[in-house]
Amino acid sequence: MTRQRSSILICTLVATISVRAQTVRSNAYARMLDDAGGLLTAERWEDAAKVYRRLEIMDSTSAEVAYGLGVCLGHIPGQRTAATERFARASRYGHLEAKYQLALVLHRQQRFDEALALLAYYKSAAEHEVPDAEVDRQVRMVATARELQADPVQVNIANMGPRINSKDNDYSPVTTADGATLYFTSRRKGSTGEARDPSGQYLEDIYMARKEGGEWGSAMNVGVPLNTFVHDATVGLSPDGGSMIIYRTAQNLVSGDLYECVKHLGAWEPPTKMTERINSSSHEPSATIAPDGSEIYFTSDRPGGMGGRDIYRIRKLPGGEWSLPLNLGPVINTPFDEDAPFMHSDGKTLFFSSNGHATMGGYDIFKSTLTDPDMNGWTAPENMGHPLNTVNDDIFFCLSEDGRTGYFSSERADGLGGQDIYSIVFPESQLEEIVVRGVVTDGMEEPVQARIVLTGEADGEMVGVYNTNARTGRYLMVVKPGERYNMTVEAPGFVPRSDALSTVGKSGGLTEIPLDIILVRDEKTARVKP
């Protein structure tokens, strides 16, 4: 064989081996790409990111890989900057959907002009995946963010620091009405069983902290029976701290239900699953307890709603059963998500988070007032403004009894990692009305389950009907300043009592009127303690 022919054969062999190697490499690459896409679809962000990083090493010019890795990193705490870099790279390589995602990132970075330019380009491009209506909604969010940021609300916001927060996600704070005890949900190391979910985060556990001498102590895991080897999360707390609603998943860590916990002799009793009128085959992740325990507001994505998660109300009937759930209607709910309701102890002021109303981006915190309990009447939700609300998710707001100090969850630049819990102090009360509270008892100071009917003195129009707590006899009414009312107290076995109630000369907000009522049996006249 000549040297020339030998060289040709060698070159041919080398070329054949190279083609086969490329084919093998190409097949492996394709399989890895499919695997990464499957993990991404399953929202296993950490696992998907590992595969995408290997693919990135193999081909750093792939727009598809950069885009997929960007999506994963955007869902991993502390990786937002890296996600932005991948979206920007995929966008440069011509990935249209990456341009949309980059616009959303730039919005969160408050680079509003750049975000609007990319959104305009995306909408004008042919065959974009996101519907025009959603693109327009994102444009409105940018406009709202710019508007509210230019006119901030004067408040004092502070991260609650390492005694409360961790480098992991901490959220869903709930407090007693006196502001002395805080419960919240955390996904920090040290959770019960220290198990992780598919996203790589520790499972949810409930933590507690107490305030002493004006300072919060270090958070502690509340342990059993509230915490288990699945997800356990704070949802709602009664004003006196005697009962709590928690969310607990099944063993599959996917489906879950709301449970009620009652404190007895200073210790929490095992949680009991709440009524099927609340829990369903759909998702019910949040709830709040009305002051007298007679109503529960909760969120659900069950069929028949306005779309996404809606807020519902359920009432305890005279016989002790729960009513059918009532959707709060189109004033409160939107085709998108409303979540994390908090009914203040005034019984009328509802705070909740929404990504469907006019938000700065993601979830914003809103306020609405119940104007007609029987007809489900609500005032138009009011955005609580910047800096309480930001371009990121701001959620799980609760407010102290005086209406001045609140707590909420947010992911911010000054945070310790992921979502943190923040305190907020308003210069004045966020409540506009007067609270009348007290206890209805008999002549032996035993609590009475009574019905209080409040009407306007001038027109006799019904203002509200209030039921006392069956166990404690306590009640709470919310009235307007500068008004005169007639108050009738009724209870089986007692003589009804009617008295005048005046708020003339009193202002709303911080004002509270204590009013204990004694009903006497045997046809004796009930009297009212001054």
Q: How far apart are CA 279 and CA 273, in angstroms?
A: 8
What is the band of 523 on the pLDDT scale with cuts at 50, 70, 90?
low
Segment (H or E) for 371: strand 364-372
Residues 85 and 183 in one domain: no
User: What is the mean predicted confidence (pLDDT) over 234-245?
Assistant: 88
CATH code at position 499? 2.60.40.10
**Structure confidence by residue, pLDDT tens digits, 160-179:** 999 999 999 999 999 987 78
What is the band of 225 on the pLDDT scale with cuts at 50, 70, 90?
very high
Pull the structure tokens for residue 93. Answer: 């390589």
**Phi, psi (5° rounding) for residue 110?**
65, 25
Q: How far apart are CA 186 and CA 203, in angstroms?
A: 8
Tell me the three state secondary structure of residue 382.
Answer: strand
212 has a pLDDT exceeding 90: no
The string of DSSP codes covering 407-424 is EEEE--TTSSSSSEEEEE
Q: How far apart are CA 54 and CA 46, in angstroms?
A: 13
220 has a pLDDT exceeding 80: yes
Residues 60 and 136 in one domain: yes
2 has a pLDDT exceeding 70: no
Pull the structure tokens for residue 85. Answer: 């870099």
- Tokens 């008999």 belong to 442
423 has a pLDDT exceeding 50: yes
pLDDT at 434: 79
Length reported for the chain: 530
Last-in-domain residue among 150, 182, 198: 150
Q: How far apart are CA 99 and CA 121, in angstroms?
A: 9
**Structure confidence by residue, pLDDT tens digits, 273-329:** 999 999 999 999 999 988 777 889 999 999 999 999 999 999 988 888 899 999 999
Q: How far apart are CA 318 and CA 315, in angstroms?
A: 10
pLDDT at 529: 53
Residues 109 and 191 in one domain: no
pLDDT at 507: 65
Q: How large is the angle between the packed helices 63-74 and 45-58, nearest 10 degrees?
A: 150
How many separate domains does the chain show?
3
Residues 296 and 213 in one domain: yes
259 has a pLDDT exceeding 70: yes
pLDDT at 173: 97
Rounded to 10 degrees, the C-alpha dihedral 56/59/61/64 comes to -60
The more confident residue out of 479 and 528 is 479
The more confident residue out of 139 and 195 is 139
Percent of the chain with pLDDT over 90: 58
pLDDT at 74: 82
pLDDT at 265: 85
User: What is the mean predicted confidence (pLDDT) over 342-347?
Assistant: 85
Q: How many CA atoms does the CB half-sphere of 440 hold within 13 Å?
A: 29
pLDDT at 224: 93
User: What is the mean predicted confidence (pLDDT) over 337-358?
Assistant: 92
Residues 68 and 197 in one domain: no
The more confident residue out of 444 and 239 is 444
Q: How far apart are CA 157 and CA 256, in angstroms?
A: 33
Residues 411 and 450 in one domain: no
510 has a pLDDT exceeding 70: no
The string of DSSP codes covering 23-78 is HHHHHHHHHHHHHHHHHHHTT-HHHHHHHHHHHHHH-TT-HHHHHHHHHHHHTSTT
Of 103-107, 110-114, 520-524, least confident by mean pLDDT is: 520-524
Residues 184 and 107 in one domain: no
CATH code at position 329? 2.120.10.30
Last-in-domain residue among 376, 408, 425: 425
The residue range of the domain holding 44 is 3-150
Residues 386 and 317 in one domain: yes
pLDDT at 408: 97
Residues 353 and 502 in one domain: no
pLDDT at 508: 60
Residues 296 and 206 in one domain: yes
Last-in-domain residue among 115, 150, 185: 150
Mean pLDDT across the chain: 87
Residues 146 and 165 in one domain: no
Tell me the three state secondary structure of residue 12.
Answer: helix
Largest pairwise CA distance in the chain = 128
Question: How many other C-beta atoms can be found within 10 angstroms of the C-beta atom of residue 376?
Answer: 15
Residues 162 and 108 in one domain: no
**Structure confidence by residue, pLDDT tens digits, 429-484:** 777 667 788 999 998 889 999 999 988 898 888 777 788 888 888 887 877 778 89
The H-assigned helical ranges of 166-207 are: none
